[in-house]
């Protein structure tokens, strides 16, 4: 693993935020000039251009992702601008969601994980490993829009605190906000099934964080991928902008909350890329060029404020599990995971 984390004292808390299938091209250059002008993908081009267009790609990316570039760009680090030969890729050959999340959390590229079926993952993940460490027991929580996360992270095996899809969250009856979210979810489930609205996932996570102060939080958002598959570039852009706002609000919350302030790091990334041209941008997979190309953003007390990384470099998603552990002051690798599994 390349040394990208400071060797100073460990961060006390860590948030890992993944927005599914969001391309590096929009992260580093903002709205694509061809796709935002194509009425097949952006029906109301005039309005979307008024919101997200600028002739300079550096200005476009700030319009689309203002928190990412105004805050993380100045106080954290961003990897994956391939125009600068700074690259991030998944290592698995499939470039699909389950293989990508498996790689991210287990550090392995399991050849037998080739699709998105709801099968419990046999590989040990960094979250359950950290949950076995002093100070982390019961302090790790996962919230995901996609209902396959309990299988990817094998909740059946490890009992991690997890809320996915339209699952009702168990809460104190006095928490009116969570009760309202449960009610809204019950009504919304008729419209969507496999992937919950990201705003519901975000609001659920935020309320849980306020009540329980977990040390490690994973938030998996899914609608960027959904809208891309629908070939709605306009909705894809709007959702990316919404994700940026969610991350900004979360950062503001932790920076104004005792116990989190100046003691919390964020890792932000995606599980796979997408096609790298206007013909194939909406899809991804083994035979679509660009599908393995991803990105990484980080901010926090152990992250040196180097901004956009411009040097020639290659990172892989399979390294992220080790980065997650290292930020918390622990070590994790597939070898460590195997030793841990043998002792259970």
pLDDT band at 302 (very low <50, low <70, confident <90, very high): confident
Question: Cβ of 181: how many Cβ atoms within 10 Å?
Answer: 21
pLDDT at 169: 82
In a domain, 172, yes or no: yes
In a domain, 3, yes or no: no
pLDDT at 9: 64
In tens, the pLDDT along 5-49 reads 665 668 999 999 999 999 999 999 999 999 999 999 999 999 999
> Among candidates 265, 258, 166, which has minimal Cα distance to 217?
265
pLDDT at 39: 98
pLDDT at 78: 98
Statement: residue 266 has pLDDT above 60: yes
Statement: residue 152 has pLDDT above 90: yes
> Among candidates 10, 14, 2, which has minimal Cα distance to 326?
10
State what percent of residues in the chain have pLDDT above 90.
Answer: 88
Interval 194-219 mean pLDDT: 94
> Among candidates 175, 130, 159, 141, which has minimal Cα distance to 10?
130
In a domain, 274, yes or no: yes
Angle at CA 30, nearest 5°, toward 68 and 2?
Answer: 55
pLDDT at 3: 60
pLDDT at 194: 75
pLDDT band at 102 (very low <50, low <70, confident <90, very high): very high
Any idea what the CATH number is for the domain that residue 44 is in?
3.40.720.10
Interval 167-188 mean pLDDT: 77
Interval 48-69 mean pLDDT: 98
Exposed / middle / buried, residue 208 (Cβ in 10 Å: 0-12, 13-18, 19+): buried
Pairing relationship of beta strands 296-299 and 264-269 according to DSSP bridges: antiparallel
Statement: residue 173 has pLDDT above 90: no
In a domain, 175, yes or no: yes
With H, G, I as helix, E, B as strand and everything else as coil, classify residue 77.
strand
**Token pair belonging to 257:** 């909350």
Alpha-carbon distance values, 86 to 45, 83, 290, 302, 304 (Å): 31, 7, 15, 21, 17
Q: From edge to edge, which strands make up the β-sheet containing 140-144?
A: 161-164, 140-144, 216-221, 13-19, 264-269, 296-299, 77-79, 307-308
In whole angstroms, give the CA distance from residue 174 to residue 79. 42
State what percent of residues in the chain have pLDDT above 70.
Answer: 95
The count of structural domains within the chain is: 1
In a domain, 260, yes or no: yes
> Among candidates 177, 181, 210, which has minimal Cα distance to 197?
181
In contact, 160 and 127? CB cutoff 8 Å: yes
Torsion region of 14: left, alpha or beta (phi above 0 gives left; psi -120 to 50 gives alpha): beta
Q: Which residues contact 256 (CB under 8 A, 6 or more apart)?
A: none
In a domain, 4, yes or no: no
316, β-bridge pairs: 89
Interval 289-318 mean pLDDT: 97
CA atoms within 13 A on the CB side of 303: 30
Q: List phi, psi (to 5°) of 338.
A: -65, -40
pLDDT at 170: 77
Statement: residue 1 has pLDDT above 60: no
The domain in which residue 324 lies consists of 13-343
DSSP codes of every residue in 171-197: --TT-HHHHHHHHHHHHHTTT-SSB--
Interval 228-233 mean pLDDT: 98
Q: 23-27, 164-168, 189-193, 271-275: which has the minimum mean pLDDT? A: 189-193
In tens, the pLDDT along 104-130 reads 999 999 999 999 999 999 999 999 999
Q: 23-27, 98-102, 224-228, 339-343: which has the minimum mean pLDDT? A: 339-343
- Quick one: DSSP state of residue 68? I
pLDDT band at 193 (very low <50, low <70, confident <90, very high): low
pTM score? 0.96
Question: Cβ of 110: how many Cβ atoms within 10 Å?
Answer: 16
SS3 of the chain: helix, strand, coil, percent, to 5: 40, 15, 45
Q: What is the mean pLDDT of the chain?
A: 94
């Amino acid at each position: 693993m390349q040394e990208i984390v400071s060797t100073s004292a460990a961060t006390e808390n860590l948030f890992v935020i993944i927005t599914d299938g969001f391309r590096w091209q929009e992260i580093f250059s903002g709205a694509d000039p061809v796709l935002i002008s194509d009425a097949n993908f952006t029906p109301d081009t005039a309005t979307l251009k008024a919101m997200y267009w600028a002739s300079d790609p550096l200005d476009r990316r700030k319009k689309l992702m203002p928190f990412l570039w105004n805050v993380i760009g100045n106080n954290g680090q961003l990897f994956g601008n391939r125009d600068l030969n700074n690259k991030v890729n998944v290592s698995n050959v499939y470039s699909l969601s389950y293989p990508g999340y498996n790689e991210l959390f287990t550090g392995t590229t399991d050849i037998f994980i080739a699709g998105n079926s709801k099968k419990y993952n046999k590989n040990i993940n960094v979250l359950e490993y950290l949950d076995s460490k002093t100070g982390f027991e019961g302090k790790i929580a996962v919230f995901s829009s996609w209902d396959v996360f309990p299988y990817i992270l094998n909740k059946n095996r490890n009992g991690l605190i997890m809320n996915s899809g339209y699952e009702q969250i168990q809460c104190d009856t006095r928490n009116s906000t969570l009760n309202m979210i449960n009610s809204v979810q019950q009504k919304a489930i008729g419209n969507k099934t496999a992937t919950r609205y990201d705003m519901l996932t975000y609001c659920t996570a935020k309320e849980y964080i306020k009540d329980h102060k977990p040390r490690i939080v994973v938030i998996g958002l899914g609608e960027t991928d959904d809208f891309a598959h629908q070939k709605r570039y306009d909705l894809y852009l709007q959702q990316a902008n919404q994700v940026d706002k969610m991350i900004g609000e979360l950062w503001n919350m932790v920076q104004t909350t005792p116990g989190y302030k100046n003691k919390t790091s964020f890792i932000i990334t995606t599980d796979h890329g997408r096609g790298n041209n206007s013909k194939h941008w909406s899809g991804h997979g083994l035979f679509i060029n660009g599908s393995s190309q991803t990105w990484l953003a980080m901010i926090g007390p152990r992250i040196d404020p180097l901004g956009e990384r411009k040097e020639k470099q290659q990172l892989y998603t399979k390294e992220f599990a080790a980065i997650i552990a290292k930020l918390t002051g622990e070590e994790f690798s597939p070898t460590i995971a195997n030793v841990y599994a043998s002792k259970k």
